[in-house]
């Protein structure tokens, strides 16, 4: 890897490769070529993310001056354990869901639109990676908009006409959120004259009484809460995830809100500083009720859905609630739980949405009532759904158990037994909405005139089962995920940028 000193430029390549790949992908015109090309690009980013995380684990944070302009003036890309971990998650999910996407897209989308769709996908990936890797506050906004605009496009290409209105509503709410973030960054800049996050952290801590600062924090929190779909600002999410093409639902459900949660962590802990965020401004007390309500209301609303993707989307709202609860504990185990749940939720929701996509491929329906008998006719798909669903509930030996365990432990350590009870209550509610699906698929007999359905094709099953395997593997061997998550949590609490 020392060829041409290319390994020194990995942080820039992480973002530049998918950015350059997107227009090329569009120029390829042939859907199969565009697909192969985007898989190659996405795999390249996965390899880079892996190398970056490995380097930071061995030698500490990497700083890269974009264009050779030194840090506070130029744009700095900064990779530490925390965002290295998120980069790996995003690129891994993107690559897996692209592998899944080909068959699923060919079935759902007009082939003339496919090269455009893959180009949009790569742009969306660029946006996520850029937001994660950058150490510059304004750069965050730019990449946020790149990812948002391309995700509106991806959602609007869904097979149902309701995808258009879902995309439009997401565009309106998302733009307001992004503009709020822009205002906050502007206010930070007007106070300090810098956009570099590390520099901002130092300069902002000198002026915590300023009303500009307080207003900026308000705008920032609301903007990020919209992007992360934190209750009650989650209203864009259920429709967007429900009507998007199946593979897009997999990609967005597993990554979009995770990156926003990462930004929330980065701004609260690094830029504003943990001490200011939680001792001076007591933002945890503002976030705590939102997290509790998200877990309870998200789960209860999920029980009443009759569209399976909508059920999963509301369950996502509840799972984001768990991540918020982990943040509000402001302790090592709380933050570890949040970071673990970021990763684990991506694994389980990815697998669940893939299974649902496979069901849609065969049955053409998203209604839970139409799932009757699928336990027999599509055994492998339903088994994948069952296992990742058990992981969502938090059964031992699955990843869901690990993150809930840390979260409950964090709540008990903080002497908040009621919080531990709410977390367990959330799991009970998850059993109810999940059981509803399982009961229909496995125990209801199909009427004789219903069409015969076959098992989903291997091209859909293999990526699904890789994710299901990851759900079990990381549930048993927790060294990698817990180790990295704990390191990243320590980094956040240490206040080091």
Tokens of 119: 């180009």
| Residue nearer to other proteins on the CB measure, 189 or 473 | 189
Tokens of 265: 């962590």
94 within 8 A of 45, measured Cβ to Cβ: yes
Minimum distance from CB of 339 to other proteins (Å)? 30
* Cβ-based neighbours of 449, under 8 Å, separated by 6 or more: none
Minimum distance from CB of 195 to other proteins (Å)? 8
Give 3-state DSSP helix, strand, coil % of the chain, rounded to 5.
80, 5, 15
For residues 22 and 119, what is the distance between their CA atoms, to the nearest angstrom?
4
210 binds other proteins (CB under 8 A): no
Minimum distance from CB of 441 to other proteins (Å)? 22
Which of positions 154-183 make contact with other proteins (CB under 8 A)? 156, 161-162, 164-165, 167-168, 171-172, 175-176, 178-179, 182-183
Minimum distance from CB of 22 to other proteins (Å)? 14
Tokens of 47: 């390899």
For residues 81 and 490, what is the distance between their CA atoms, to the nearest angstrom?
10
218 binds other proteins (CB under 8 A): no
Per-residue x/- marks for other proteins, 105-144, CB under 8 A?
---------------------------------x--xx--
DSSP notation for 139-161: HHHHHHHHHHHHHHHHHHTSSST
76 binds other proteins (CB under 8 A): no
493 binds other proteins (CB under 8 A): no
- Using alpha carbons only, how large is the chain's radius of gyration in Å? 22
71 binds other proteins (CB under 8 A): no
339 binds other proteins (CB under 8 A): no
409 binds other proteins (CB under 8 A): no
| Residue nearer to other proteins on the CB measure, 141 or 267 | 141
| Residue nearer to other proteins on the CB measure, 63 or 179 | 179
Minimum distance from CB of 15 to other proteins (Å)? 16
Only one of the segments 54-62, 94-102, 187-195, 439-447 lies at the binding site for other proteins (rule: CB under 8 A); that segment is 187-195
- Print burial letters for 277-288: b (CB count within 10 Å at least 16), e (below 16): bbeebebbeebb
Minimum distance from CB of 453 to other proteins (Å)? 23
| Residue nearer to other proteins on the CB measure, 142 or 203 | 142
| Residue nearer to other proteins on the CB measure, 160 or 439 | 160
Only one of the segments 42-50, 188-196, 379-387, 390-398 lies at the binding site for other proteins (rule: CB under 8 A); that segment is 188-196
CA distances from 62 to 147, 199, 268, 404, 432 (A): 24, 16, 21, 31, 46
Minimum distance from CB of 447 to other proteins (Å)? 22
Which of positions 138-157 make contact with other proteins (CB under 8 A)? 138, 141-142, 145, 149, 152-153, 156
For residues 123 and 40, what is the distance between their CA atoms, to the nearest angstrom?
14
| Residue nearer to other proteins on the CB measure, 149 or 204 | 149
Tokens of 195: 């956009």
For residues 455 and 199, what is the distance between their CA atoms, to the nearest angstrom?
56
Dihedral sign from CA coordinates of 85, 89, 92, 98: negative
Give the side-chain half-sphere CA count within 13 A for 335: 24
CA distances from 242 to 99, 299, 305, 374 (A): 21, 16, 11, 20
For residues 100 and 96, what is the distance between their CA atoms, to the nearest angstrom?
6
Minimum distance from CB of 173 to other proteins (Å)? 9
| Residue nearer to other proteins on the CB measure, 73 or 435 | 73
Out of 186, 218, 457, 469, name the contact with other proteins by CB under 8 A: 186
Backbone φ, ψ for residue 307 (5° rounding): -105, 130
| Residue nearer to other proteins on the CB measure, 95 or 194 | 194
Q: Which residues bind other proteins (CB under 8 A)?
A: 138, 141-142, 145, 149, 152-153, 156, 161-162, 164-165, 167-168, 171-172, 175-176, 178-179, 182-183, 186, 189-190, 193
């Amino acid at each position: 890897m020392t060829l041409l000193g290319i390994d020194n430029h990995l942080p820039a390549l992480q973002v530049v490769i998918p950015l350059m790949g997107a227009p090329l992908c569009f120029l390829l015109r042939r859907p199969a070529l565009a697909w192969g090309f985007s898989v190659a690009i996405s795999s390249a980013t996965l390899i880079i993310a892996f190398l970056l995380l490995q380097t930071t684990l061995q030698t500490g944070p990497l700083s890269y001056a974009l264009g050779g302009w030194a840090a506070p003036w130029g744009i700095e890309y900064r990779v530490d354990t925390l965002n290295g971990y998120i980069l790996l998650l995003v690129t891994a999910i993107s690559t897996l869901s692209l592998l899944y996407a080909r068959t699923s897209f060919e079935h759902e989308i007009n082939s003339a639109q496919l090269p455009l769709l893959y180009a949009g996908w790569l742009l969306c990936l660029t946006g996520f990676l850029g937001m994660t890797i950058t150490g510059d506050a304004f750069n965050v906004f730019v990449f946020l908009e790149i990812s948002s605009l391309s995700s509106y496009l991806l959602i609007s290409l869904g097979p149902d006409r309701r995808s258009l209105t879902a995309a439009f509503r997401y565009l309106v709410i998302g733009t307001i959120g992004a503009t709020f973030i822009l205002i906050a960054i502007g206010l930070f800049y007007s106070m300090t004259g810098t956009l570099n996050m590390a520099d901002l952290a130092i300069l902002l801590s000198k002026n915590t009484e300023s009303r500009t600062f307080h207003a900026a924090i308000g705008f920032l929190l609301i903007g990020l809460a919209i992007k992360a779909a934190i209750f009650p600002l989650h209203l864009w999410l259920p429709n967007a995830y429900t009507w998007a093409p199946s593979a897009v639902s997999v990609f967005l459900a597993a990554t979009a809100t995770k990156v926003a949660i990462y930004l929330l962590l980065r701004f609260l802990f690094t830029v504003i500083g943990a001490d200011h965020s939680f001792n001076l401004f007591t933002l945890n007390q503002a976030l705590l009720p939102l997290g509790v309500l998200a877990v309870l209301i998200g789960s209860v609303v999920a029980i009443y859905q009759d569209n399976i993707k909508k059920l999963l989307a509301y369950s996502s709202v509840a799972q984001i609630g768990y991540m918020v609860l982990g943040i509000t504990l402001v302790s090592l185990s709380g933050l570890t739980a949040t970071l673990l749940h970021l990763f684990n939720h991506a694994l389980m929701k990815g697998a669940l949405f893939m299974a649902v996509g496979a069901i849609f491929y065969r049955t053409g329906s998203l209604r839970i009532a139409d799932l009757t008998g699928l336990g027999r006719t599509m055994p492998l798909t339903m088994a994948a759904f069952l296992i990742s669903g058990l992981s969502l509930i938090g059964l031992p030996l699955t990843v869901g158990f690990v993150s809930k365990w840390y979260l409950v432990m964090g709540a008990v350590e903080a002497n908040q037994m009621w919080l531990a009870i709410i977390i367990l209550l959330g799991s009970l509610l998850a059993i109810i909405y999940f059981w509803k699906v399982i009961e229909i698929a496995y125990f209801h007999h199909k009427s004789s005139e219903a069409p015969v359905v076959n098992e989903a094709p291997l091209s859909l099953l293999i990526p699904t089962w890789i994710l299901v395997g990851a759900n079990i593997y990381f549930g048993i061997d927790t060294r990698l995920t817990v180790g990295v998550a704990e390191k990243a949590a320590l980094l956040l609490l240490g206040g080091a940028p």
